[in-house]
Amino acid sequence: MSKDNTMHIDESMIDTVLAEDLNFQGTMKFTKSLMIKGKFEGQIDASGHLIIGPNAMVGATIKAGVITNYGQISGNVEATERVELFNHAKLTGDIKTPEIIIESGCNFNGNCAMSDKKHTPTPGSGQTPTQAPQPQNPQTYRSAVTQKVK
By percentage, how much of the chain surpasses pLDDT 70? Answer: 73
Nearest CA among 142, 137, 140, 138 for reference residue 12:
140
Q: Is 96 helix (H, G, I), strand (E, B) or coil?
A: strand
Question: Is it the case that residue 76 has pLDDT exceeding 70?
Answer: yes
What is the distance between the alpha carbons of residues 14 and 32, in angstroms, rounded to a whole number? Answer: 8
Q: Which of 2-6, 11-15, 23-27 is predicted with the least confidence, judged by mean pLDDT?
A: 2-6
- Do the beta carbons of residue 33 and residue 16 sit within 8 Å? yes
Quick check: is 46 in a domain?
A: yes
Q: What is the pTM for the complete model shown?
A: 0.74
Quick check: is 142 in a domain?
A: no
Quick check: is 81 in a domain?
A: yes
Number of domains in the chain: 1
Residue 57 pairs in a beta bridge with 39, 72
Quick check: is 134 in a domain?
A: no
Q: Kindly report each contact of residues 39-42 with a partner whose C-beta sits within 8 Å and lies 24 or more positions away, as own/partner.
A: none
Residue of higher predicted confidence among 48 and 134 = 48
Question: What mean pLDDT comes out for the span 78-85?
Answer: 97
Question: Is it the case that residue 132 has pLDDT exceeding 60?
Answer: no
The pLDDT score that the predictor gives to residue 124 is: 54
- Do the beta carbons of residue 58 and residue 73 sit within 8 Å? yes
With cut-offs at 50, 70 and 90, classify the pLDDT of residue 69. very high
With cut-offs at 50, 70 and 90, classify the pLDDT of residue 11. confident
pLDDT, the chain, mean: 81
Q: Is 16 helix (H, G, I), strand (E, B) or coil?
A: strand
The pLDDT score that the predictor gives to residue 119 is: 56
Residues spanned by the domain of 21: 1-111
Please give the backbone phi and psi of residue 13, each rounded to the nearest 5 degrees, phi first. Answer: -90, 0
Quick check: is 130 in a domain?
A: no
